[in-house]
Copies of this chain bind each other. A is one copy, B any other.
Amino acid sequence: MTITLLNPPDAVMPARETWADVMRLLGMAPESLDAATARVPIATRRVRAFTPLFVEGTSADAVYLGRHGAFKVVATDCDGYEQVLDFLGRGDLIGCDGLGSRAHAGSAVAIEDSSAWVLPLRDLNALRRSLPDFDDAFQRALSHQLLHARDMAELMSAVAAEVRVARFLVHQAARMERRGESPRRLLLRMSRRDIASYLGLAHETISRSMTLLARWGCIRVDNREIDILDREALGACAGSTRKRWTPADDRRLVA
């Protein structure tokens, strides 16, 4: 049984892009790959909103690279509770946890109409062994994932709810900037519920924290559109690990 059977409407598209595009997105110098392999076409999976790219427990014979849209990685607990582990987008590797065990430890679900490139493990390993530069780039991407896990730990280390939300927004903004888009205007693709699960808070608390940050003048909230008005202040709030940060503290620091 192939994954396609699980997702009838999501076709594996004939490829227009090649491995060269993948490598560029992974931060590899384009001149270091030979023209032959660069032109090898690569498959694209289109995934409709709220349908899975892959599901927890299935065998992992490929990793994916976000092409457009957005995904969330979720792990379903033994008692059915769904925990959001990560939000991923264009240029992000998806499904790396299955590299070793050959089974996905979480599900990747599109949170809007999306697509991802399919990197079959067989091809991936072959390329890694024939192109040392690609091997390096992929290794770098993997360790970047490890760093991201560290970021998440940092996120959870903050006890105050607004601090977690502030850090989440800062991370999202940084991700936007890395992608070349404006870091001032965020368009969140995920629901408050997903953010809540990701941050380990109640979804009502996400709302409250956002209005609080808005009242402090850090951001402007309009549903899923977030304007970052005062990046300094937002960063200051995100920085305080333990004690609660308030605008009053900020004024005291300035004075």
Q: Which residues of A contact B (CB under 8 A)?
A: 75, 77-79, 81, 83, 85, 96-101, 105-106, 128-129, 132, 135, 139-147, 149-150, 152-154, 156-157, 159, 197, 200, 239-242
Task: Check B200–A240 contact: CB distance below 8 A.
Answer: no
Number of copies of this protein chain within its complex: 2
Task: Check A100–B239 contact: CB distance below 8 A.
Answer: no
Task: Check B79–A240 contact: CB distance below 8 A.
Answer: yes
In the assembled complex, the Cα of A157 lies from the Cα of B106 at a distance in Å of: 15
In the assembled complex, the Cα of A240 lies from the Cα of B80 at a distance in Å of: 10
In the assembled complex, the Cα of A180 lies from the Cα of B94 at a distance in Å of: 33
Task: Check A97–B140 contact: CB distance below 8 A.
Answer: no
The DSSP consensus for interface residues of chain A is helix
Chain B proximity of A200: nearest CB distance (Å): 5
Task: Check A139–B99 contact: CB distance below 8 A.
Answer: yes
Task: Check A99–B200 contact: CB distance below 8 A.
Answer: no
Contacts A142-B142, A157-B200 known; A147 to B97 CB distance under 8 Å? yes
Task: Check B241–A143 contact: CB distance below 8 A.
Answer: no
Chain B proximity of A64: nearest CB distance (Å): 15
In the assembled complex, the Cα of A75 lies from the Cα of B151 at a distance in Å of: 10
Chain B proximity of A16: nearest CB distance (Å): 29
Task: Check A239–B105 contact: CB distance below 8 A.
Answer: no
